[in-house]
Amino acid sequence: MNMDLVTRASRLPRAGETLIGQTFSTVPGGKGANQAVASARLGAEVAMIGCVGSDAYGTQLRDALLVEGIDCQAVSRVEGSSGVALIVVDDNSQNAIVIVAGSNGELTPASLQSFDAVLQAADVVVCQLEVPMETVGFTLKRARELGKTVILNPAPASAPLPAEWYASIDYLIPNESEAAALSGITVDTLDSAKLAATQLIKAGAGKVIITLGAQGALFTDGQTFEHLLAPKVKAVDTTAAGDTFVGGFAAALAVGKSEAEAIRFGQVAAALSVTRAGAQPSIPTLHEVQGFVFP
């Protein structure tokens, strides 16, 4: 759960360079919170487990989830600053992001044990990597013990995942750079994405979906591959597009959609999100996705 501090500029700055920005805004974000908001707007009943700080951002972040009808009984307030993300968006709608964990670093396995009832009540458990790794590992293992559908969005990833995690993951959903970090294979074509996905299946993941931006998504269950093309839209800001896909995919699975239907649903939601600025403000509603005509 991060407060996004967002500026727009004509391009991303080079090392040591100062640019004049065009606009600035503060927007509730963070991968876990974005995915929770996406799932809630797209038809799921959602509970969030996380930590916010004792600063003003902490109040705003929690309130933003409550407005969406998200169960926040497991959102704890800790002393210190909330997480923040410093985001620059250029005129081509590409972004560069630096995150500071803040209170997110205080989400421990012990705090997860305190909210075990929330995990027990879930059908689908979604994790990402903006909280401590030991906490993610604990959650994956516990969700598997409880027989839940487990989704890991390994973001941000800069190295392979712990080997013991894979057996607990039903759906591993990296983007191209994350798939490369996890597999050691550069992902810049569809064929290389297939190689990386195969490597991740061999590592033990149940199924893999590599999101390919405007090129769609690659799905494999280890036996077959399916390349699902993305809707063509005019992008304004790609911030939270991946989170919207993950949240939409999870929400669709939770209501009984097939894997292909859930991927397509997530793709439409993500496509709509990039036509708007901001993280959580860009995430569409169920009504908007249902009314979208796929090109």
* Residues designated catalytic: 243
Contact of 261 with 267, CB cutoff 8 Å? no
Contact of 107 with 81, CB cutoff 8 Å? no
102 phi, psi to nearest 5 deg: 50, -130
In this structure, how many other beta carbons lie within 10 angstroms of the beta carbon of residue 136?
22
CA gap 281, 236 in Å, rounded: 13
Angle between helices 259-273 and 241-254 (to 10 degrees): 150
CA gap 219, 179 in Å, rounded: 13
At 147, list the tokens: 């027989």
266 phi, psi to nearest 5 deg: -65, -35
- For residue 132, whether the previous peptide bond is cis, meaning omega lies within 30 degrees of 0, is no
